[in-house]
Amino acid sequence: MSTNPSLDTRKIALLDLDAFFASAELLRQPQLRDKPFAVGGGGDRGVVATANYLARQYGVRSAMAGSQARRLCPQLIFVRPDHAYYRAMSNQVFEVLQQYTETIEPASIDEFYLDLTHNQHYQGSASLTVSAIREQLRALGLTASAGISNQKMVAKIASEENKPDGQYLVTPEQVSAYLAQLDLKRIPGIGPKSLQKLHYAGLFLGKDVQQAELTSLQRILGEKAGWLVYQRCLGNDPRAVITERVRKSVGVEETLSQDATSLRQLEQFLEQVLLPQLQKRMKVSNWQQAFIKSQTIKLKFSDFQQTTVSRTANLASPSLFYQLLRDAWDRRQQRQVRLIGISVALPDPDDALQLELELE
Q: List residues with catalytic annotation.
A: 111
SS3 323: helix
By the 8 A CB rule, do 252 and 341 touch?
A: yes
Q: Is 165 annotated as a binding residue?
A: no
Backbone angles phi, psi at 158, to 5 degrees: -65, -25
Q: Which of 74, 15, 9, 21 is nearest to 48 (CA)?
A: 21
Query: Which residues on adjacent β-strands are paired with residue 161?
Result: none
Q: Helix H segments across the chain?
A: 20-28, 53-56, 66-72, 83-97, 126-139, 152-158, 175-180, 192-200, 206-210, 214-221, 223-234, 263-269, 275-284, 318-329
SS3 43: coil
Q: Is 16 annotated as a binding residue?
A: yes
By the 8 A CB rule, do 331 and 307 touch?
A: yes
Annotated binding site for Mg(2+): 16, 110
Annotated binding site: 16, 110
